């Protein structure tokens, strides 16, 4: 649609950037922090682990000063559960609380709004040894962890994200990391973990509304609109299949308190539906998220399944992410979108398309929590990087994010 008049971004719009604890903090075993599953994952030979990362743990003051210089109005970061509760539950590590209190205060000093992610892939390894998210006790552990966070930071942080990209953890566990021995959970186990995360999330959102009534909380999901490869009805059905299984089923549960009916039919048909105990569906009801947080990188194009192994292919540049599912859908090429040098789709118009779909489905405010481009940047002799492609990417996505 071509509008006659475009509204400007609101004056109080939260221009920000995002990090996660394990990707930037480093100091993996300092000041009482225990190992997370990320710390214990296998790392390919020649690839660094996260023990140093960007050393944000020691450099947060200069980092946040740079954020202010950049003009950021918000900083989304995650709390490492293992810094707060090294045993997963029980005794609180005061050094961990002190670090995040200092980060929040430093943000406030520069008038930067802190946005806290409670869980960004890094389950305490001590809980993983007891079954991790497959064990229902982890639900109680997460609620206990949330209570500690809300009690200590609820007065100084308004915006909270529960679980980052739960759909990625379930659909593409290998993209996050490989356990020792390289064996990933079965689909049945993954959807049981998903159910337990949904229960934990619902309980935490209800707890938050009691403890932090002036705050805002919501899930953070990787959401992507799907295009049918052609105008054939079969391709359209396949695109809808994957949009439901990849996106809506993971957002419907926290917003509506129920599994998407098509997704549930699929889970039952494949024999991978989770065990739902008495009272579980009551827990999922009325969690009432205040917004949807959305990570958007690209769209996907989908064709009808051929019902054989050719339905499945590795995503360009990432052998840990398999696209397609036999009998459900197959990935297809789209000549109308761009690609990065790593093979990722670049689709700023798809950003607008996805935003439309998310808002018309949930009628909740949307917080864009991740977006960006990966590229093989070249560092010049003078220390500069001539990344006009990144400038173009950000400009185009911003324009389409507000074009409606």
Between 291 and 45, the more confident residue is 291
User: Are the CB atoms for 303 and 332 separated by under 8 Å?
Assistant: yes
Mutual orientation of helices 348-362 and 249-256 as an angle, nearest 10°? 30
Q: What is the pLDDT of residue 277?
A: 98
* Mean pLDDT across 292-316: 93
Rg, Å, the chain Cα set: 21
What are the distances in angstroms from CA 86 to CA 38, 89, 142, 240? 14, 7, 13, 42
Between CA 164 and CA 357 the distance in angstroms is: 20
Q: What was the pLDDT predicted at 320?
A: 65
Summarised one tens digit per residue, pLDDT across range 191-236 is 999 999 999 999 999 999 999 999 999 999 999 999 999 999 999 9
176 alpha carbon, distance to own chain's centre: 11
With beta carbons less than 8 A apart as the criterion, state whether 247 and 223 touch: yes
The confidence score (pLDDT) of residue 89 equals: 97
Q: What pLDDT digit, counting tens, does each position of 89-112 carry? A: 999 999 999 999 999 999 999 999
Q: How far apart are CA 127 and CA 124, in angstroms?
A: 5
Q: Report whether pLDDT(49) > 80.
A: no
pLDDT score recorded for residue 239 = 97
C-alpha 56/C-alpha 62 separation (Å) is 9
Q: Does residue 214 have an active-site annotation? A: no
Question: Element (H or E) spanning 351, and its range?
Answer: helix 348-362
Mean pLDDT for the chain overall: 94
Backbone angles phi, psi at 62, to 5 degrees: -70, -30
Q: What is the mean pLDDT of residues 359-370?
A: 97
Catalytic residue among 25, 165, 243, 325: 165
Rounded mean pLDDT, 164-185: 91
Q: Is pLDDT at 31 greater than 80 in this prediction?
A: yes
What confidence category does residue 42 fall into, taking pLDDT thresholds of 50, 70 and 90?
confident
Is it the case that residue 159 has pLDDT exceeding 90? yes
Give the single-character DSSP code of 73: S
239-264 mean pLDDT? 97
pLDDT at 5: 84
Q: Which of 30, 189, 234, 370 is catalytic?
A: 370
242 contacts 223 by C-beta, under 8 angstroms? no
DSSP state of 247: I
Q: 135-153, pLDDT tens digit by residue?
A: 999 999 999 999 999 999 9
Strand partners of residue 228: 302
pLDDT at 399 over 90: no
pLDDT on residue 52: 82
- Token pair for 75: 């900083």
Q: What percent of the chain has pLDDT over 90?
A: 85
pLDDT given at position 134: 97
**Whether residue 165 lies in the annotated active site:** yes
pLDDT value for 15:
95
Q: Are 285 and 279 in contact (CB under 8 A)?
A: no
| pLDDT score at 45 | 75
Structure confidence at residue 46 (pLDDT): 74
pTM: 0.95
């Amino acid at each position: 649609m071509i509008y006659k008049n475009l509204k400007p971004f609101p004056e109080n719009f939260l221009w920000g950037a995002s990090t996660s604890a394990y990707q930037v903090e480093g100091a993996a075993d300092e000041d009482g922090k225990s190992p997370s599953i990320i710390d214990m994952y296998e790392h390919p030979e020649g690839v660094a682990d996260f023990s140093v990362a960007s050393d944000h743990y020691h450099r947060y003051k200069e980092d946040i000063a740079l954020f202010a210089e950049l003009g950021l109005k918000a900083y989304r970061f995650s709390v490492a559960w293992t810094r707060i509760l090294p045993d997963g539950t029980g005794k609180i590590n005061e050094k961990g609380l002190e670090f995040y209190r200092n980060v929040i205060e430093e943000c406030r000093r520069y008038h930067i709004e802190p946005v806290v992610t409670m869980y960004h892939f890094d389950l305490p390894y001590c809980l993983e040894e007891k079954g991790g998210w497959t064990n229902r006790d982890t639900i109680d552990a997460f609620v206990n962890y949330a209570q500690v966070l809300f009690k200590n930071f609820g007065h100084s942080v308004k915006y909270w994200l529960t679980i980052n990209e739960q759909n990625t953890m379930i659909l593409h566990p290998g993209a996050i990391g490989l356990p020792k021995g390289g064996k990933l959970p079965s689909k049945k186990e993954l959807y049981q973990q998903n159910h337990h995360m949904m229960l934990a999330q619902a309980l935490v959102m209800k707890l938050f509304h009691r403890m932090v009534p002036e705050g805002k909380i919501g899930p953070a999901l990787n959401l992507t609109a799907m295009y049918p490869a052609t105008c054939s009805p079969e391709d359209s059905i396949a695109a809808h299949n994957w949009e439901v299984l990849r996106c809506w089923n993971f957002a419907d549960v926290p917003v509506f308190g129920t599994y998407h009916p098509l997704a549930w039919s699929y889970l039952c048909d494949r024999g991978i539906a989770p065990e739902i105990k008495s009272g579980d569906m009551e827990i999922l009801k009325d969690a009432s998220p205040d917004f949807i947080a959305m990570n958007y990188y690209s769209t996907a194009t989908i064709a009808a399944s051929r019902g054989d192994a050719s339905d499945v292919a590795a995503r360009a540049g990432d052998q840990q992410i398999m696209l397609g599912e036999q009998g459900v859908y197959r990935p297809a090429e789209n000549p109308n979108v761009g690609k990065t040098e790593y093979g990722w789709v670049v689709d700023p118009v798809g950003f607008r398309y996805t935003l439309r779909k998310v808002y018309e489905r949930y009628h909740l405010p949307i917080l864009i929590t991740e977006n960006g481009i990966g590229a093989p940047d070249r560092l010049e002799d003078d220390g500069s990087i001539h990344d006009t492609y990144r400038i173009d990417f950000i400009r185009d996505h911003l324009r389409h994010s507000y074009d409606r």
